[in-house]
Chains A and B, each alone.
Chain A
């Protein structure tokens, strides 16, 4: 069974700050996903990673397969980044989600 943990659970930042959200998992995976969920429930897939690093705008995601760890970074954070960020992993034929990190960015 794969356990997925995220830290921190909650995060409050000032606009413009650099933010890091961490995800760790216990069993080898085929892919890791970062998802963003806004109030109201809509989920957007931000990244899918199997190795290395990906960048999209102000968002950067990295994964270290050996250490079973991934990070999501947000540069120059903005209030519109306020959302729950969820890490999810594929292993075998399953999809396991982390508990999410609730981010609030204050103006």
Chain B
């Protein structure tokens, strides 16, 4: 099976702009989670989508949003970019059934490295 793919791999934006990142999960995986990694804060959980619904959300402002499509592909959007949004954004997919709680083995994509100038 193909692994988790993320596009683009690298992105440069300026403050105030918005950005959309894409994640394609492993075939058959219905859960997609997004994470932000920065040198200062480390890895932080953004949100999880399952069957097109946001199931869990971390402690991030409303500028960070996402969605999931019927084919389980997911997008993450950050509006009004700030310098502090510069980070590696990782998505991960898992084979999680509807009744299982968050916590199954995650398969990570290579990440999108975002630089905000």
A residues near B, CB below 8 A?
Answer: 30-31, 33, 35, 41-45, 48, 50, 86, 88, 90, 93-100
Contact = CB atoms under 8 A, between A and B. Distances in A.
Given A41-B113, A42-B110, A90-B102, 13 more contacts: A30-B103, A41-B37, A41-B90, A41-B111, A42-B111, A43-B92, A44-B108, A48-B103, A48-B104, A95-B33, A95-B48, A97-B42, A100-B42
Contacts of B107: 45
B106 interface: yes
B97 interface: no
Main secondary structure of the interface of B (DSSP, over half): strand
A100 B38 CA distance: 12
B88 interface: yes
B55 interface: yes
Interface of B: 33, 35, 37, 42-45, 48, 55-58, 88, 90, 92, 101-108, 110-111, 113
27 contacts: A30-B101, A41-B90, A41-B110, A42-B108, A42-B111, A43-B90, A43-B92, A43-B108, A44-B108, A45-B106, A48-B104, A50-B103, A88-B43, A90-B101, A90-B103, A93-B55, A93-B57, A93-B101, A93-B102, A94-B58, A95-B35, A95-B48, A95-B56, A96-B45, A97-B43, A97-B45, A100-B42
